[in-house]
Copies of this chain bind each other. A is one copy, B any other.
Amino acid sequence: MMKLVECIPNFSVSRERDEAAFNALVETAQAVAGCTVLDVQSDGTHNRCVFTLVGSPEGIGEAAFRLAKRAMEVIDMTKHQGAHPRMGATDVIPFVPTMDMTVEECVELSRQVAQRIWEELGIPSFLYEESATAPGRVNLAKIRKGQFEGMPEKLLEPEWAPDFGQRKIHPTAGIIAIGARMPLVAFNVNLDTDNVEIAKSIAKAIRGSSGGFRYCKAIGLLLEDRNVAQVSMNMVNYEGTPLYYAYEMIRALADRWGVRIIGTELVGLTPAKALIDCAEYYLKLENFDCHKQVMEYHLVGME
């Protein structure tokens, strides 16, 4: 059993616009024991950077706290400009379970970090996604609506008291959304038609918001370079709604129009288990224990 947690904190600063502040964050993350920096992305137009960290729950909790402290020191939100919606110097801190960690353990970790950030730094926070304390707080876009500039007023509305802290943002660091979520798998399915209406109709049928799969978000669009209609999905919990549910349902729905699936794609990183679960389904595996039988699960964290 190797408990690993992924953390993808977003900060309202970019290498392109403030290299010193950006570097300060990178150095802070790299200095934490039990935390490995897998990736750092920076976007000047958004004026935002995104870290991908992985490590032990203790190491990642410490890294999230130290990064929030450093971001408070080097970023002044009263002067921030950028295309991406934001409400804090540290804008959002998601914790994602990996390997033998559960999402419940990530919820607990998110609460501990939010509490420490409030007590030691005086920065308030909302808990979101799996950590949310009310249905209206699950969705990040709803929480962040109004952005940094509108937050002082929003926090005074009855339903918008922060989960940690008082009804008052930190003057320069704003407020943070902190929470646990499952890894997101970006999965697209291409159809042998250029009729985007078919893709849109299928997307509507399979997405949770309109009666489809609970953990599937979907839109239909046209890949203009290939003249191919695509169902583009975010699978936000591949254990609750496996990839093959989406694939098989799209196949069944497309069949009504005489349309076939010509290919699919995964964008970015995917947990091995999201794919292994598909192999298990299509190969009709019996009594298969991914954690015990897949060799790589024994290698991770090896000394």
Give A contacts to B, CB under 8 Å: 4, 6, 36, 38, 54-55, 98-99, 183, 190, 243-244, 247, 261-266, 268-272, 275-276, 278-280, 282-288, 293-303
Q: Could you list 23 examples of A-B contacts with CB < 8 Å?
A: A38-B298, A54-B302, A98-B295, A98-B299, A190-B286, A243-B283, A261-B284, A263-B285, A264-B284, A264-B286, A265-B286, A265-B287, A266-B285, A266-B293, A271-B296, A272-B276, A275-B275, A275-B276, A279-B282, A296-B296, A296-B297, A296-B300, A299-B301
Residues of B within 8 A of A265 (CB): 285-288
Residues of B within 8 A of A298 (CB): 38, 54, 269
Given known A265-B288, A288-B265, contact A295–B271 (CB-CB < 8 A): yes
Residues of B within 8 A of A261 (CB): 284
Residues of B within 8 A of A99 (CB): 296, 299
Residues of B within 8 A of A300 (CB): 296, 299-300, 302
Contact between chains at B264 and A283 (CB < 8 Å): yes
Residues of B within 8 A of A285 (CB): 263-266
**Min CB gap A109→B, angstroms:** 18
Contact between chains at B270 and A293 (CB < 8 Å): yes
Which of B183, B266, B283, B301 meets A302, CB within 8 Å? B301
Which of B54, B183, B243, B295 meets A269, CB within 8 Å? B295
Residues of B within 8 A of A288 (CB): 265-266
**Min CB gap A200→B, angstroms:** 21
A-B complex: 6 closest residue pairs judged by Cβ atoms: A275-B279, A278-B279, A282-B282, A263-B286, A272-B296, A279-B279
Which of B4, B266, B282, B297 meets A278, CB within 8 Å? B282
**Min CB gap A151→B, angstroms:** 33
Contact between chains at A294 and B271 (CB < 8 Å): yes
- A286, A295, A297 — which one has the most chain B CB atoms within 10 A of its CB? A295
Contact between chains at A54 and B299 (CB < 8 Å): yes
Residues of B within 8 A of A278 (CB): 278-279, 282-283
Residues of B within 8 A of A295 (CB): 6, 98, 183, 269-272
- Bound Cα distance from A128 to B264, whole angstroms: 41
